[in-house]
Structure 1
């Protein structure tokens, strides 16, 4: 039997039943007071799937839009590169509002805010579909980003506060699916819509999904809120927003020709604002991004290891379709059918993850799974037109399986030692770094590809350039092994059921 030295995510269940500690809803439970039963075995699947569908809507929207940018630029009568401002407007909204999302959920209730996030995202989608010019689209995308920023961390917070600890691994394996599948199936769906329908349907498709999500959230998810919401941190909100926004914009601009100086200026402003925020956070009792969470071992290691791994995950959906289309000469439709192999591998992982973690534990699983996922994505860089298509498909399936398993483990073990009263702060912090690293992954892949083209004095990338880019981003995720080895041997034993 593993000796548990710390109280983790939901290990206080028995104490709640005995009336020793407050329930997650923030209402103190006495021995005489009725206590709601723990979630039923089927309940966590319902909760996880409802949240996963909302996140899938948000994740897929971003990747589908990229396919439609040339057509949208033609309709608006502007150069295609100008449409990048619509993408960065969304990133700016994420950078500003993700850190504040947990605090808003604590004050007004996670269920209420999650529903509001869906409403805002759907409203932004409808306005994007009605856009007649670029400024209108930019404002609508910013509104969309506000909703998306709250859906990401609050969805995870609802799950953490609604699911029993023994079901957390299975529930998390459902929750991470949107982040992995959305970027993979987005491009072929976007290509189909642009080719056979109208680009505005990219946004209109979110409306029925959002309405269904509102109904399901209302019926199946309970209201949870923090017991003592922290005071508003306006200074921290502004500093973190400027820092994260400038860093995201700066990273995105590094891959554009002629924008390196502006990109470096933005990154410098972001780093300076970040330094000021760190100084501010150390002096404040409850900062908007609580850096003291990094003192919790399992959370710190998951943030660092997961951030390094997400750089590769962010780069792969960007590099692979480009390589198949530019290097292999495939159409967007054909390359989309091949890249969907990663999504199939992710789905196969869902049922196996709990058993693997129970058998091998979190530390060993993260080490082996991380190296396997890195090797699989590195092999992608060596794909050539002479390779049999089934072999490419199987490689992508295996890579998707391993990477999905990796994120299931990271997203679960991160909250093992986080007490309930700090859960909203932890989800905001984790989601902020998750979004930053995925965006950085795209920028890293694009920058590596751009450098290869400049070195060869080429206007278009060759297969060798893609090989180098894949090796660079996978070397970054391979370095996560250093941090995975630092997990305690028995870390997350209660979560996985391992003894």
Structure 2
């Protein structure tokens, strides 16, 4: 059968470009997951407490969230090829810096730089496809790119565990160097340097306000259980974050050139989707960090076995893809999101029932079910959030959603680390499994808030 005019196969002239963007997508997806199983090994080598290593994840994800608003403007102003090339070089050099770090502070600095490169890789790569590839071939290009994005999380935890156990934790970062070199060499061959003839002045004031808000909220939550800082310091940071958010909301309403105009929130579905995304992702996005840590630190699993146990989660996510659209079409967004949000929360809390003696086959099924539920949750929330935006607001709305997704992940990981440390101090160092179990139950309960938000979706909203 011939391809329809609206959905053509990818022609040879664009294949190298899609391969290049896929490399960036793969690097970002791999780096977001490969480090999780290696954290205890990194902590041992740097002389740090494994329970306080969540800052390594938070530094990267928060840096990505903070720099996403900058990516589109830089690409329009200086060209997609130049910015994409710069992103790969920054990402690769920062990875090298991470590998040669001698203490936690050095590692955190390079993780922030790595996050800056990562923040440019995916949005600018997607923008390049949007600007260069004909609309009739765009779906085929995005499908191929998404496949590369799924490969990173699929192999990341196992590869990270294997490297930490049989090589050294530094290889978790060294692996980005050859991939980065390949991407850099391909960039000038495959990607034209498309620019925009007229680019509005960048809203640096709003950008600084957003960074203040995100960093203050994250650091406030992350340092809450830290003995190094008094509690008033953490509360003060959270207060600064909330105040900065309100100031930005006023700025977005009054500033003509704001990064995200307040009119976006005139759309009720978009507003509910953003709020639901934020709260629902706090628990779901903390699991790739918290579960490998629990398996190794509380249950005594080896890094490689821990990585293998993460595979069923990704397989569950892949298995759910064909059924998501039919489920939403049959039940509608409201029913799917309310019920599934509660099921995800119950599934997160149910990890508290597992022990070191839980059979491997039962643990694998548990992770597989979580992968299915989590994938259904994320895809449903994302499509709901963006479905009713006008063409004029689609780009801005998508960027804001991407930023909220990464912000929620960073706060979720910070919250998970803080809860484990608080409960560890309360129950005692010899009751680590109880500390993890209690933290998991708390994270699962947060989904009740998200379910309440989704309850407000109008009943007639469908695909």
What does 1:453-468 correspond to in 2, within 5 Å? 453-456=424-427, 458-468=428-438
Give the superposition deviation at 1:170: 12
Q: Which has the higher helix share?
A: 2
Partner in structure 1 of residue 279 of structure 2: 308
For 1:397, the equivalent position in structure 2 comes to 368
Give the gaps of 5 or more residues in structure 2: none
Structure 2 Cα separation of the partners of residues 374 and 194 of structure 1: 31
Shift of 1:242: 2.0
Match of 2:46 in 1: 73
Shift of 1:187: 4.8
Indicate the residue corresponding to 1:486 in structure 2: 456
Relative to the length of structure 1, the TM-score reads 0.76
Question: Structure 1 residues 348 and 298, CA, compared in 2 at 3 Å: closer, same or farther?
Answer: same
Q: With the length of structure 2 as denominator, give the TM-score of the two structures.
A: 0.81
Aligned-partner SS, 2:83: helix
- Say whether residues 1:120 and 2:93 are aligned partners: no
How many Å separate the matches in 2 of 1:326 and 1:124?
28
Which one is further off, 312-321 or 62-71? 62-71
Q: How does 1:313-392 map to 2 (within 5 A)?
A: 313-392=284-363
Name the CA distance, whole Å, in 1 between partners of 2:297 and 2:74: 45
Residue 272 of structure 1 is matched in structure 2 by: 243
Deviation at 1:326, TM superposition (A): 4.0
- CA shift, 1:441, in A, is 1.2
Q: Deviations over 1:278-331 (max 9, x none)?
A: 332222012124343222233222211111111012322233233333443333
Q: Does 1:250 find its partner at 2:223? A: no
State which drifts further: 81-90 or 417-426. Answer: 81-90
- Shift, 1:240, TM fit: 1.7
Shift of 1:56: 0.9
Say whether the 8 Å CA contact 1:345–1:401 is kept in structure 2: yes
Task: Give the 5 Å matches for 1:387-466.
Answer: 387-456=358-427, 458-466=428-436
Partner of 1:30: none
Of the three residues 30, 40, 43, the one matched with 2:8 is 40
Deviation readout 1:117-139 (Å, 9 max, x if unpaired) = 22321232234335567776554
Contact kept in structure 1, 2:316 and 2:368, CA below 8 Å: yes
Structure 1, residues 241-279: CA drift from partner, whole Å, max 9, x if none? 222222222222224334352322322232233333233
8 A contact 2:52–2:417 mirrored in 1: no
Residue 209 of structure 1 corresponds to which residue in structure 2?
179
Q: Quote the offset at 1:459 in angstroms.
A: 2.2
**1:143-168 deviations in Å (ceiling 9; x for gaps):** 21211122354456567777979997
Structure 1, residues 92-115: CA drift from partner, whole Å, max 9, x if none?
Answer: 633542232233334445565344
Kindly provide the CA deviation profile for residues 51-102 of structure 1, in whole angstroms up to 9, marking residues without a partner as x: 642431341355366344235526xxx9989987766654563354223223
- In the alignment, which residue of structure 2 is the partner of 1:473? 443
- The aligned length equals 452
The structure 2 residue matched to 1:198, chosen from 151, 168, 176, is: 168
Equivalent residues of 1:372, 1:399 under 8 A apart: no
The 3 A distance-change label for structure 1 pair 222 and 125 is same
Q: Is the 8 A contact 1:64 1:202 kept in 2?
A: no
CA offset at residue 235 of structure 1?
Answer: 1.4
Aligned-pair Cα RMSD in Å: 3.9
* Distance in structure 1 (CA, Å) of the matches to 2:453 and 2:50: 41
**In the alignment, is the contact (CA less than 8 A) between 1:373 and 1:402 conserved in 2?**
yes
Q: In the alignment, which residue of structure 2 is the partner of 1:19?
A: none
Q: Deviations over 1:343-390 (max 9, x none)?
A: 121121233334434444433332333233222222211113453321
Tell me if the contact between 1:128 and 1:203 (Cα under 8 Å) persists in the aligned partners. Answer: yes
Structure 1 residues 488, 442: CA separation in 2 closer, same or farther (over 3 Å shift)?
same
Q: CA deviation at 1:432?
A: 1.8
**Mapped partners of 1:469, 1:312: distance in 2:** 10
The residue that corresponds to 1:129 in the other structure is 99
Separation of aligned partners in 1, 2:75 and 2:350: 42
In the alignment, structure 1 residue 59 sits paired with structure 2 residue 32: yes
User: Aligned with 1:479: secondary structure?
Assistant: helix
SS at match of 1:275: helix
TM superposition shift of 1:42: 5.8
The 3-state SS of whatever aligns with 2:386 is: coil
Q: 1:199 to 1:42 in 2, by over 3 A?
A: same
Distance (Å, rounded) in 1 between the aligned partners of 2:383 and 2:186: 24
SS at match of 2:353: coil
Distance 1:442 1:139, change over 3 A: closer
Alpha carbons 1:176, 1:407 under 8 Å: kept: no
Instruction: Sort the Cα spacing of 1:310 and 1:250 in 2 relative to 1 into closer, same or farther, 3 A.
Output: same
Secondary structure, counterpart of 1:57 in structure 2: helix
Q: Find the residue that maps to 1:340 and give its secondary structure.
A: helix
Secondary structure of the structure 1 residue equivalent to 2:429:
coil
- Determine if contact 1:100/1:428 at 8 Å carries over to the other structure: no
- Aligned counterparts of 2:107 and 2:169: Cα–Cα separation in 1: 13
